[in-house]
Structure 1
Amino acid sequence: MADVQFAPLRTLNDFLLESARFQMPNVKDPDKWANRVIHNLYYYQSNYFLMTLIVFLVIGILHPVKMVCGFAAISAAFALFVYCTNSQWTARRFKRNHPVISLIIIVAAGYLLVYMFGAVIVFMFGIAFPLLLTLIHASLRMRGLKNKLTNKLETAGLRRTPMGIILDGLGQEAEIVVQG
């Protein structure tokens, strides 16, 4: 992680305003579309991280209780899933030895799920909406010469950035050949 460099924040003019060129991607050529998205993710990564943080914070400020409750509900569900999948024998033995308590836990969990549904939706929206905005921008934003040169450095391995690490982890690597 010592060799990780953060990409510079691109200007608002380059990101959205006057010099930005947008065009619908060619949906009949998914490889070219994916290439555009991946290269834009590399080039505008600091802008995307900042945009995601701002949108998440705005939603958190507008609905702070729902965001915290939604996070707690998602975390509790994840922890319960991990516990149950790692200790199936213990859970089965508990259900067999304590059927009434098991039924009460199931009913209470169902009630909590229904009660927290609105908060979970707000929390998931706080995560999904910035990702949707990022995907839309990366899909529609046409790449310029500076974008292509910067991506060439990134894909040649001369620089490692957080987005490069994320995309490598997802198995999405940009091609070294610069394409439009």
Structure 2
Amino acid sequence: MTSNEVHLPPFRNIDDFILASARFGPPDYQNKERWNNRILQNLLYYQTNYFVVALTAFLLVMYISPLETILGGAIVSGLLVVLFYVSQNRTNVEQFKRDYPFAVIFMVTAISTMVMYTFGSIAVFVFSVALPMLLTLLHASFRMRNLKNKVQNKVEAVGLKKTPMGAFLRAFNQDIQISF
């Protein structure tokens, strides 16, 4: 096993995550750096729990409204593919707009109508993605850190143990500084 391998940390027990031994308190809204540090540290320490909560919340919305979630996801994915194609092929798109202006008007009208007609499904899909993020952010903001949390995060920051959340945070240039 090399030090470059990414490992999923263990699932933290429910008692530590949300029940009796968990300590919750409001973040210091005046000190954004300290609040950001609390969120980052909790994201690293409870990442497996957050993944399970996110998957459970997504599956719950999927169970309640399966067709709307799938249709909304397909529409959003299709729109993202179209936007990616347009952004990558600007010259071809500009030429097509000049050559076939009525086709462009028809396509924009058709796509707009489809989006408006399926707006409820798009909203359900966005909710199925936003709800897990909201739950994670709320827990990470209000869960106060303990000594075990701080020690485990120090190991991650030093680079001895690499985790998916650590790689994700580094990809978004979030400096993982541990303060005790």
1:102 Cα deviation from its structure 2 partner: 2.0
Distance 2:154 2:123 in 1: 39
| CA shift digits 1:85-116 (9 cap, x unpaired) | 12222222222222322222111111001012
How far residue 2 of structure 1 moved from its aligned partner, in angstroms, is: 5.8
* Structure 1 residues 120-146: Cα deviation after superposition (integer angstroms, max 9, x where no partner): 111111111111110110010001111
Quick check: 2:16–2:22 contact (8 Å CA) kept in 1? yes
The aligned residue for residue 9 of structure 2 is: 7
Give 3-state SS (helix, strand or coil) of 1:92's partner.
Answer: helix
Q: Deviations over 1:117-175 (max 9, x none)?
A: 11111111111111111011001000111111111111111100001001111111221
Aligned-partner residue type, residue 94 of structure 2: R
**In the alignment, which residue of structure 2 is the partner of 1:82?**
84
Q: State whether structure 2 residue 67 is matched by structure 1 residue 65.
A: yes
**SS of equivalent to 1:4:** coil
Cα RMSD between the aligned structures? 1.3
What letter matches 1:24 in structure 2? P
Residues 4 and 162 in structure 2, CA contact (< 8 A), matched pair in contact too: no
The CA distance in 1 between the partners of 2:103 and 2:156, in whole Å, is 56
Distance 2:90 2:42 in 1: 44
Q: Identify unmatched segments of 5+ residues in structure 1.
A: none
Q: How does 1:13-92 map to 2 (within 5 A)?
A: 13-92=15-94
Corresponding residue to 2:126 among 124, 127, 131: 124
3-state DSSP class of the match of 2:160?
coil
The alignment covers a number of residue pairs equal to: 178
